[in-house]
Amino acid sequence: MQNVLVFCGSSTGKDPVYAEQARALGAALARKGYTLIYGGGSVGLMGVLADAALAQGGRVVGVITEHLLAKEVCHTGLSELHVVPTMHERKVLMAQLSDAVVALAGGYGTLDELFELATLGQLGHDRRPLGILNTLGFYDHLLRHLDHLAAEGFLRREHRQMLIVEEEINALIDLMEDYESDPVTPKWL
């Protein structure tokens, strides 16, 4: 684990704890010498995360679309910035640049990005650790729904367990550092 991709909101949310956790994660990744890969934004949790990693002397790589760059939501102080034409290309490049993933609180984009990599893991195409920092129980409802999918036979229990969920940053990082993917469980058996 060297390059950690973080998915998070372009909003800070209602509770300031979300921003505090984004700040703490960015600082922790930088202190541990990890490169932060993220969506390149200067707003919301994305901006807080990047600023915290940079303040600790960390390397921060952003990947942003031309559309978002034109809206001036791009972080201008990054170590490296990639500009791509589409959101799909953004997701592909962020995944290519990273070897671990953490999801913070966020909306549709965060869920889309996380579930695309979870789906690739389910199909055996991706073996990286997928972490969720479950600040204030933000993901509790979603995790219960994933348990429901498994109980109803739409998601194998082994695939449900691919997500590493923690409420505390250092515990999450430790679990991700120790992660060894299980042999691929076929989706269709």
User: 102 lies in a domain?
Assistant: yes
pLDDT on residue 189: 53
Whether 154 maps to a domain, the answer reads: yes
186 or 83, greater pLDDT: 83
- Contact between 21 and 135 (Cβ < 8 Å): yes
Tell me which range, 64-73, 131-140, 176-185, is most confidently predicted by mean pLDDT.
Answer: 131-140
Per the domain annotation, does 181 fall within a domain? no
pLDDT at 169 over 90: yes
**Residues 74 and 41 sit within 8 Å (Cβ to Cβ):** yes
Return d(Cα 189, Cα 183) in angstroms, integer.
14
Is position 75 within any domain?
Answer: yes
- How many structural domains is the chain composed of? 1
Residue 109: inside a domain, yes or no?
Answer: yes
Answer yes or no: is 182 within a domain.
no
Is position 185 within any domain? no
What is the pLDDT at residue 124?
87
Whether pTM > 0.75 for this model: the answer is yes
Q: Residue 168: pLDDT band by 50, 70, 90 thresholds?
A: very high
pLDDT of residue 133: 98
Q: Which domain holds residue 108?
A: 3-176
Query: pLDDT tens digit string along 39-65?
Result: 999 999 999 999 999 999 999 999 999
In a domain, 186, yes or no: no
Q: What's the gap between Cα 78 and its chain centre?
A: 18
How far out from the chain centre does Cα 189 lie?
Answer: 29
CATH of the domain at 133: 3.40.50.450
